[in-house]
Amino acid sequence: MADQKIRVGLVEDQLLFRQGLKAILANLPNVEVMFESADGYSVVDKLTACPELPHVLLVDLSLPPNGKTEYNGMQLTNDITLRFPDIKVMILSVHNDDSLIAQLIQYGAAGYLVKDCNPQEVYDAIQSVHTKGSYINEQSLKAIQNNLGKRHKPKALMASLNLTKREVEILQLICQQNTTEEIAEKLFISAKTVDGHRNNLLQKTGSRNTVGLVLFAVSQNLLLK
């Protein structure tokens, strides 16, 4: 198992970059490049035809469009991880966009590398993705932290607002697109009372209108699914 080579696939449109990467990886003792593609469209087909699937797929984030429709590394990542859950997708990109990184992780990417990293880092990443299941470096972690829900200290905020149970209850019903009267019926109280609670909510949350209430509820994870 430890001596078995890590099967690596490359998805990268620039021929030179792809060849260079292949050359670098060829020098590594326990890595074998056994798959490559210049665009995203044919990858799934090629993989289904493979006798052995690659362990790790290095995917360029900016893949070329096919005529009109675009099929970039993000979409490919999503499709690959859904159809081949065992393949670890490692994104290569020139950019370093936080929200993009977070989204890629969300779409199932196992790691993210900028293209100007050194070869050793590529090797570490492949190794880490294969053995640990992921390769998250500091910048990726920061990206994740910045995009892992925007709620900073929800408990503190909630506590300071001091919403009552009834208010939370009504807020949740508002967020389910109920009108004031519908809420009143469901809670067996007067519509006027609901209106009063709604106004308290507006005041307590500092909202201008229902939109603000919904955004608040979302930020505080108060939504019932």
Closest-CA residue to 44 (of 19, 17, 71, 62): 71
Q: Does 150 bind a second copy (CB under 8 A)?
A: yes
Alpha carbon distance 89, 116 (integer Å): 18
Closest-CA residue to 7 (of 95, 90, 105): 90
Alpha carbon distance 61, 93 (integer Å): 5
* Closer of 139 and 207 to DNA (Cβ): 207
Q: Which of 23, 26, 117, 215 binds a second copy (CB under 8 A)?
A: 215
Q: Does 119 bind a second copy (CB under 8 A)?
A: no
Cβ contacts of 185 within 8 Å, gap of 6 or more:
none
Total of chain residues touching a second copy, rule CB under 8 A: 42
Closest approach of a second copy to the CB of residue 55, in Å: 13
Q: Does 202 bind DNA (CB under 7 A)?
A: yes
Q: Which of 155, 160, 162, 165 binds a second copy (CB under 8 A)?
A: 155
**Contact positions vs DNA (CB under 7 A):** 162, 164-167, 174, 179-181, 187, 189-193, 195-199, 202, 208-210
**Contact positions vs a second copy (CB under 8 A):** 75, 78, 102-103, 105-108, 110, 132-134, 136-138, 140-141, 144-145, 147-151, 153, 155, 174-177, 179, 207-212, 214-215, 218, 223, 225
